[in-house]
Amino acid sequence: MDKSPIKELLNEQKFRLTSERESLLDVFSRSSSMVTPAQLYELAQQHDIRIGLTTVYRLLEVLTKIGVATPFLVDGTIYYAYCGCNHHHHFVCLSCHRVTDLHNSCPSFHVPENFDVIAHRSDAYGTCPDCRKASEVGCNP
């Protein structure tokens, strides 16, 4: 993963990317599903990354601010997914918490006259094909 654009965005926010934070960013970017800060902290511990939970929260905060992480509220819990630097939408599986990037879809909606749109966000929530299949297999009438 080329971290140059991310490092540049972090520098603009006056955020120093230490080796521990960079290792945490690597773990986060390789995560196949969205994670809570506590889950990311546990992943860091499993990879022998010596950071505190506060560092995890701070990294997620700044990554969200620069658009590299996206928060999702599911059942009262905030999860984060690594999203890279380009704008796109998401499909969130409510069963396995995997986030699928939707690059070629753009929802349409009507914005009232005289309103200026600066940004938008549109995500779809449901069940992925793998979880749907597993659910169907598990159901024997």
What three-state secondary structure class fits 130? helix
Query: How would CATH label the architecture of 4-138?
Result: Orthogonal Bundle (1.10)
Q: Which string of b and e fits 36-70 if b means at least 16 CB within 10 Å?
A: bbebbbebbeeeebebeeebbeebbebbeebebbb
Percent of the chain with pLDDT over 90: 41
Residue extents of the structural domains in the chain: 4-138
User: How far apart are alpha carbons 12 and 120 in whole angstroms?
Assistant: 23
Q: What average pLDDT does this structure show over 60-81?
A: 91
Q: Tell me the CA distances in angstroms from 98 to 48, 101, 127, one per residue in order.
A: 24, 10, 10
Choice between 89 and 75, residue whose per-residue pLDDT is larger? 75
**What confidence category does residue 79 fall into, taking pLDDT thresholds of 50, 70 and 90?**
very high
